[in-house]
Structure 1
Amino acid sequence: MLELLVDNLPVVLLAAGLVLMVLEALSPGAHLIVIGVALVGAGLVGVLLPIALSPVILAAITLVIGIAAAYVYHEFDFYGGKGTAQTKDSDSLSGTTGYVTKTVTSRGGEVKLNQGGFAPYYSARAYEGTIEEGEEIIVLDPGGGNVLTVESLDAIESDGIDRELAREAAANEEDVASENTTTSAENETAEPETETEKS
């Protein structure tokens, strides 16, 4: 039995690698793809080369292909999110931005978060009013990750503080305008006096 396995070692490596790659497809992120690619690569080399390769040479080929596969897997980041923090729990979703994919009302809707991850789509409900499809949103309450409470970024940008600042700016403009009017009125009344003084 052992002799049969050694004689057909390339086929065994190929089969084992394919099984690991299928398992990776069923549970992404398990990092079985690197080992699977290494085994499939070594198995293919053993099957395609007409010379009989020793188990030591096949092991070396597996190692070299495995290192190359690990480099490519790490460098190209096939699952996304490279350089960004992954969501650890629902609380980390608070403050995350995204956009509406299905109109969000106080009863439901759907959003896609910019944070990424394997499934960035979440059920959501609006904090106030209705948020139309395509509008940018921010997560106010993660709700345990089941249903997010979101608010339109446009509504947040024009919150109470912004409205108060706008009122103050308008009041200042009115004060400046009334000062200019008063100053010009004083200048108009001052001009006849100077004419009287001349005569």
Structure 2
Amino acid sequence: MVNPLAALAPLQAEPLLSMSLSILLFLAGAGLIVGEALAPGTHFFVLGVALLTAGLVGLFIPASLGIFAPLILTVVVLATTAATLWGYRKLDFAGQGRGQTLSSDSLRGQFGTVTERVTRSDGEVKLEDGGFNPYYQARSDGDPIEEGAEVMVIDPGGGNVLTVESVETGTDSIDRELARERSKSDANSDAETERESERA
């Protein structure tokens, strides 16, 4: 006598086995992206995007490729993971750096490097902590500052055009911090003086 449960067992396992690798990758990626939406922090997003992309690519790969199909999917997963991770770090979507500056005053006392020679009328600098786009137009208060030189922002100028001065090469991190604090305290005292003069 044939056991009816034994006859049903292959039918129950068949949907899982018949599901292709591409669909499994797609569903796993979609699940990870949904998990990222529920618990943000870029823990699942990078791998989720990679698996989702590999699943989509796999749906369009012809079965006639045989053993090469999994190899192509592996390359797609690795390339997409690397590209997504690079994009996350480069654009700082995770917010681990300072995604943007808080105000133009937050630029005062920051250090950077000259990317285009800075004169009284032209130039560009890249700030160490300059927000989403760290490149700013800059002007020199004195002599021209050559490309590659280290500078400090002495006047943020509303954030559009910074006034910078060259930093001596003999300074270290302690000197930088002291200079930054001096610059901020000078700005605060200037603001206090302006407020007092407005009251008088």
Instruction: Please give the range of the TM-score, normalised by the shorter of the 2 chains.
Output: 0.3 to 0.5
TM-score, normalized by length of structure 1? 0.42
Larger Rg: 1
